[in-house]
Every structure is written in structure tokens, then in C-alpha cells.
């Protein structure tokens, strides 16, 4: 087992690192907006780099942010945070940032992908850092507003100035991460573990698991409503308990029947053979095979990607799920309008 990651808090932040400096955010989606609002509330001079007439510009203006074209923001800012989708980083850097950035400026990423896989090859005279909150944008903003923070990771790819770590930690402090904790990592470790977690558990693994379970009950003749409720709806209830207190809290919160079934049959469902397939997934990530496939998919126009998403959207669970969620007023937005 590797050693624990080094942890940093507010006590490790140099207040002078971004004092009198300007930060530009490129990409004002959920994460960019959350971080931008937090930085603004932290008193950091901020620019939003956005295309004229685009949705990002409109959202930023509505939030009272200063908005400039990306090229102008690159010239004006001391630190540029690249928070646009990974696949456009190369195009943005080469076409709109590279010729306008000066030695000593900082290029910050929220994910290690585009640097690790060569989508962006930053000039050697730039500081290149990463600050990656471990939470979606809405959570990053909500916890900041409560005076708390979402834990995160930071990493240094290039330290041209000698102060790259200070600037990364000051940025992390500005978005609220140091109110909780920020751990030192690397671009490689962050990118590979992040993608593996998404594919093996958080998105790919969980989605495949509840779809197969739902299909099993429906094909056995049980009502679709029961299959949805037992194999999908109640998933959040258990995940929330696990998130709050781990396995020990779960076993203290569920029935003994559920706990016995978990201990007896959990490994029958997710056994050693699944772990071997997970190792294959990790190997594809570590070798760059997954990144290569994803880059080619984007270059080809993402037709296969969109077709696979549509196939999932057409699954029977979406229709019955939309119907049942219409009876759950506590859910934000209710149903998903896919079958009512």
C-alpha cells in the first residue's frame, strides 16, 4: 500500500500568492461557473474568457462577471484556468492562448487529461498546475456558500517561476477547497484514477449493474415499477449512508436480512472475475488506449458516442423511471420528460 497523500489546509496558503493578480476562467459551465463565483466572493480579480454571443458569455454577464474574448483574457490575466471540456483544450490553447501568454503566467487545469495525453503542450516558460475539486460544480458552490469546502487535489506539471505550488494552493483556497483539505497528487495519478473510477464504478459500473438487475426482474415477470424501485430508486438511499459513514454505518442502518444477503451474495454478483476485467480497464487507461479511442471518436464527429448514449436513453427503465419520478415531488425537476 502506498503512503497517504500529503494534505494541505488554509494554514498552508500564502495569501500573497494571488494578491493583486488576475485570474481568467476559460469555460463557464457548471464547474467554471461555481469556481468563478467562489473566486469572486473570495475577492480575487476575475475575468471570464468567452466567445461573443455564446451561452457562457450570457451566463457570466448575468452573474455580474467581467467578460472578455479568450485572447484578451489571456493577455490580461496572471493565471488562466482551463475549465472547458477536455477535448477542446488543445484547440483553445493553440488557437487562442499560446501566442498571447507571457513567461511566468500560470496555466491551470481542473483535470490532468489534456496535458497527460499531449492534447496541450504548454510552453516551457509557463507554470502549469492542476486544481481538481472532488465534487460537481453545484456542490463546490453550495459548500462554499455554507463556509465549508469540497476536498480537492492539486498537482504541479511545470514550475517555471518557482512559485507554482503557492499559486495552485491560493487558487484552491479561493474556490474553497482548503476549508476542507487539498491533497498533493500528480497529473498522471489524478487523470488515471478519475477515469477508472468513472468507468469501473461511478458511471459505467453502476449503470450496467442497475440495468442488468432491472432487466433480470422484468424478464422474470415482476412489475416494472417494482424493478425500478428496488434496483434503481433505492440505490441513492444506500449510497448516501455509505457516503456519510462507510460500511459500518450501512450495516447499522439496513435490515439484518439485507446485510446477510449482501455478505452471502454480493461476491456472487461482483466476484473475482469482475476485478480481473477492472484490471483490463485500468490497463487500457494506463497505456493511453482509452484516451486514444476517445480522441479519435471526437475527431470523427462523435457519431458512435451519440448513438450509444441514445441507446441507453431508449432503455425501458427511462420510461418507467420518468413515470415514477412524477410522483416524487422532492426530486428536483421531477421526471425527465422522456415518457410521460
Q: Is 114 annotated as a binding residue?
A: no
Q: Is 170 annotated as a binding residue?
A: no
Q: Is 288 annotated as a binding residue?
A: no
Q: Is 338 annotated as a binding residue?
A: no
Q: Is 322 annotated as a binding residue?
A: no
Determine the length of the chain. Answer: 340
Residue with cell 435490515: 255
The most distant pair of C-alpha atoms in the chain lies apart, rounded to whole Å, by: 67
Determine phi and psi for 333, rounding to 5 degrees.
85, -10
DSSP codes joined into one string, 33-92: HHHHHHHHHTT-EEEEE--TTSHHHHHHHHTT--EE-HHHHHHH-SEEEE-S-GGGHHHH
Helix, coil or strand: residue 289: helix
16/169 Cα distance (integer angstroms)? 11
Q: Is 301 annotated as a binding residue?
A: no
Q: How many CA atoms lie within 13 A of 333 on its CB side?
A: 5
8 A C-beta contact, residue 56 and residue 24:
no
H helix count then E strand count, the chain: 16, 9
Q: Is 30 annotated as a binding residue?
A: yes
Q: Is 230 annotated as a binding residue?
A: yes
Helix, coil or strand: residue 267: helix
233 is catalytic: no
111, 233, 315, 323: which one is catalytic? 111
**Residue 51 is placed in which grid cell?**
466567445
Q: Is 52 annotated as a binding residue?
A: no
List helix spans (H) across 231-337: 235-253, 256-269, 272-287, 289-299, 303-313, 316-325
333/138 Cα distance (integer angstroms)? 15
Residues 170-186 as b or e (16 or more Cβ within 10 Å = b): bbbbbbbbbbbbbbebe
Q: Is 198 annotated as a binding residue?
A: yes
Q: Is 57 annotated as a binding residue?
A: no
Q: Is 28 annotated as a binding residue?
A: yes
List, in sequence order, every beta strand (DSSP E) within the chain: 7-8, 22-26, 45-49, 67-68, 79-82, 106-109, 127-133, 152-158, 182-184
> Which amino acids are annotated catalytic?
111
Binding-site annotation, residues for NADP(+): 28-31, 51, 56, 137
Q: Which residues are annotated as a binding site?
A: 28-31, 51, 56, 137, 194, 198, 230, 234, 255
Binding-site residues from annotation for Mg(2+): 194, 198, 230, 234
Amino acid at each position: 500500500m502506498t503512503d497517504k497523500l500529503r494534505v494541505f489546509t488554509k494554514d498552508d496558503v500564502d495569501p500573497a500568492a494571488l494578491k493583486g493578480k488576475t485570474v481568467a476562467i476559460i469555460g463557464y459551465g457548471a464547474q467554471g461557473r461555481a469556481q468563478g463565483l467562489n473566486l469572486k466572493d473570495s475577492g480575487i480579480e476575475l475575468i471570464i474568457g468567452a466567445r461573443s454571443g455564446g451561452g457562457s458569455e450570457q451566463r457570466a454577464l448575468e452573474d455580474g462577471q467581467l467578460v472578455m474574448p479568450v485572447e484578451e483574457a489571456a493577455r490580461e490575466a496572471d493565471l488562466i484556468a482551463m475549465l472547458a471540456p477536455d477535448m477542446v483544450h488543445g484547440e483553445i490553447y493553440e488557437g487562442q492562448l499560446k501566442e498571447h501568454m507571457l513567461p511566468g503566467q500560470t496555466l491551470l487545469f481542473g483535470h490532468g487529461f489534456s496535458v497527460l495525453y499531449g492534447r496541450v503542450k504548454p510552453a516551457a516558460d509557463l507554470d502549469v498546475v492542476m486544481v481538481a475539486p472532488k465534487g460537481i460544480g453545484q456542490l463546490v458552490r453550495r459548500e462554499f456558500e455554507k463556509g465549508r469546502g469540497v476536498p480537492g487535489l492539486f498537482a504541479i506539471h511545470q514550475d517555471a517561476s518557482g512559485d507554482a505550488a503557492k499559486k495552485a494552493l491560493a487558487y484552491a483556497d479561493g474556490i474553497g477547497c482548503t476549508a476542507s483539505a487539498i491533497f498533493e497528487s500528480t497529473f498522471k495519478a489524478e487523470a488515471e484514477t478519475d477515469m477508472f473510477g468513472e468507468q469501473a464504478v461511478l458511471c459505467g459500473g453502476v449503470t450496467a449493474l442497475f440495468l442488468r438487475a432491472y432487466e433480470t426482474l422484468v424478464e422474470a415477470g415482476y412489475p416494472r415499477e417494482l424493478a425500478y424501485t428496488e434496483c434503481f430508486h433505492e440505490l441513492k438511499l444506500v449510497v448516501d449512508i455509505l457516503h456519510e459513514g462507510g460500511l459500518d454505518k450501512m450495516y447499522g442502518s439496513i435490515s439484518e436480512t439485507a446485510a446477510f444477503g449482501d455478505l452471502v451474495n454480493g461476491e456472487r454478483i461482483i466476484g473475482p472475475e469482475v476485478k480481473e476485467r477492472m484490471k483490463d480497464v485500468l490497463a487500457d487507461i494506463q497505456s493511453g488506449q482509452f484516451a486514444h479511442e476517445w480522441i479519435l471518436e471526437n475527431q470523427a464527429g462523435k457519431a458512435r458516442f451519440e448513438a450509444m448514449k441514445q441507446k441507453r436513453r431508449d432503455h425501458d427503465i427511462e420510461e418507467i423511471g420518468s413515470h415514477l419520478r412524477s410522483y416524487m415531488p422532492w426530486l428536483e425537476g421531477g421526471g425527465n420528460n422522456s415518457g410521460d
